[in-house]
Amino acid sequence: MIRFAIAAVAAVTAPAHASDCWLATNFRGQSAQADAGYRFASDRFADGMLVCFTGEGGFVTGNDLKLARPGESTLIGWSDNGLGLEVVNVYQIDRDRRVLLLTQSRIGTATVTSLLPDYAAVFIADVVPVAR
């Protein structure tokens, strides 16, 4: 029931020009933080992410990075603030196995806030196509 509700919301919030959207749930993975010596630990990610591919790039809920689409199933977002903060997110859909592969990394975080450490993470999630 929850997955149906998330899918219904995703279908309504998907960009009108996106014809290839996927709903990701059941995130699991590992992350490593600088303040913990970059030792990997089990981690989870909030469910209900919508990943959409467009001709110009794509759209991912909760992502504020501009996304490029270098391949049919890959979106890459990156940003830097000119002061040392650099962020990279990669979203890839394994269409055959219906899995999202998500990698994230962030360095130079202290240029923005001392509250967040530099960080690297990898997650996988189950995906289903969203009907348009």
* pLDDT value of position 36: 94
Q: What is the DSSP letter of 6?
A: H
Burial string for 50-61 (b: 16+ CB within 10 Å, else e) reads bbbbbeeebbbb
Cα separation of 112 and 82, whole Å? 11
Q: Contact, 106 vs 32, CB < 8 A?
A: no
* pLDDT value of position 42: 97
Please report, for the chain, the start and end positions of each structural domain, with discontinuous segments joined by +.
2-129
In tens digits, the chain (132 residues) has pLDDT values of 444 444 444 444 444 555 899 999 999 999 999 999 999 999 988 878 999 999 989 999 999 999 999 999 999 999 998 889 999 999 999 999 999 999 999 999 888 888 889 999 999 999 999 986
* pLDDT value of position 4: 40
What lies within 8 Å, CB to CB, of 41 at 6+ separation is 30, 31, 32
